């Protein structure tokens, strides 16, 4: 049962796929004896809802960024949200797991939302590590500037570590893949679900104990797998950030949403 705070709410949870990338398995692991072969990557945003309360997790990227980065854009994340009755222009809260380009684009999609980020993530993407081209690679300056503008518009809340967002909904600092990466834990009708985002790119990263190649700190990434397992009711309650398996393991959220929106709760 939920352990802290007021009476828990039961939340619905959704994964919304918006883009795709063909790649090989060797591109997805550090170390290990990987049997190489195609291992494509999906791109998601997530949403949780309890009555009138809605939190969107991450904002994805748009068509122009997909073109620039050689990814296949499938749908605007906002289109997927509308399919499950969430109007982006009305969304009040967006949790940003980390500031990488595939998680923090589409700057105008949520015009009234407050954005929740970790202190360390904003320090990271605006600080000395960004003097290294290799560290900047997964960031886009426009995303960072857009977040700074939101900050000066009074629309950013910083978190330092773990924080309860609402009864049955919390963020948890992980670091690892990015210095200030956070994941989301949510109480659902099937128990505690962890939206790991890039705390685990694929189920296989966790199962093999092998980090994804772009990683700020490998040790913290591996600790993050352990933390996700502690916070979730089982391994089947952990939702990785980029695994096409998610849409195979979980039912679609409705007719016509197959391969697009999955119901995670
Ligand atoms: Zn990512």
pLDDT at 33 over 90: no
- Ligand 1 center from residue 230 Cα (angstroms): 22
What is the model's pLDDT at position 243?
97
pLDDT at 199 over 70: yes
- Ligand 1 center from residue 1 Cα (angstroms): 30
- Ligand 1 center from residue 100 Cα (angstroms): 7
Cβ-in-10-Å burial (0-12, 13-18, 19+) of 139 comes to buried
Closest CA to 242 of 193, 195, 187: 195
pLDDT at 8 over 80: no
- Ligand 1 center from residue 251 Cα (angstroms): 22
Q: How confident is the model at residue 28 (pLDDT cuts 50, 70, 90)?
A: confident
pLDDT (tens digit, 9 = 90+) per residue, 87-139? Answer: 999 999 999 999 999 999 999 999 999 999 999 999 999 999 999 999 999 99
Q: What 3-state DSSP class applies to 145? A: helix
- Ligand 1 center from residue 7 Cα (angstroms): 33
Token duo for residue 83: 């399919």
Where are the alpha helices (H) located in 96-209, listed in sequence order?
A: 119-125, 133-136, 141-152, 203-208
pTM of the model: 0.95
- Ligand 1 center from residue 257 Cα (angstroms): 22
Distance, in Å, from the CA atom of 220 to the CA atom of 47, rounded to the nearest integer, reads: 26
**% of the chain at pLDDT higher than 70:** 98
- Ligand 1 center from residue 105 Cα (angstroms): 12
pLDDT (tens digit, 9 = 90+) per residue, 135-167? Answer: 999 999 999 999 999 999 999 999 999 999 999
């Amino acid at each position: 049962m939920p352990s802290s705070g007021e009476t828990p709410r039961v939340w619905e949870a959704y994964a919304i796929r918006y883009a795709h990338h063909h790649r090989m398995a060797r591109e997805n692991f550090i170390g290990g004896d990987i049997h190489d072969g195609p291992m494509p990557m999906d791109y998601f945003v997530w949403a949780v809802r309890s009555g009138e309360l809605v939190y969107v997790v991450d904002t994805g990227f748009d068509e122009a960024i997909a073109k620039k980065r050689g990814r296949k854009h499938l749908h605007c994340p906002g289109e997927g949200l509308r399919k499950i009755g969430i109007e982006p222009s009305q969304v009040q809260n967006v949790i940003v797991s980390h500031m990488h380009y595939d998680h923090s684009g589409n700057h105008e999609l949520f015009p009234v939302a407050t954005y929740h980020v970790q202190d360390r993530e904003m320090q990271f993407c605006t600080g000395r590590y960004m003097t290294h081209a290799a560290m900047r690679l997964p960031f886009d300056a426009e995303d960072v500037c857009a977040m700074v503008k939101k900050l000066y518009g009074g629309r950013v809340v910083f978190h330092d570590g773990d924080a309860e967002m609402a009864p049955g909904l919390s963020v948890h600092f992980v670091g690892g893949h990015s210095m200030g990466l956070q994941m989301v834990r949510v109480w659902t009708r099937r128990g505690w679900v962890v939206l790991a985002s890039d705390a685990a790119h694929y189920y296989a990263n966790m199962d093999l104990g092998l980090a994804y190649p772009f990683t700020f700190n490998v040790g913290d990434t591996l600790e993050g797998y352990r933390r996700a397992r502690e916070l979730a009711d089982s391994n089947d309650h952990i939702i990785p950030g980029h695994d096409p398996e998610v849409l195979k393991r979980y039912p679609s959220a409705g007719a016509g949403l197959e391969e697009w929106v999955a119901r995670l709760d």
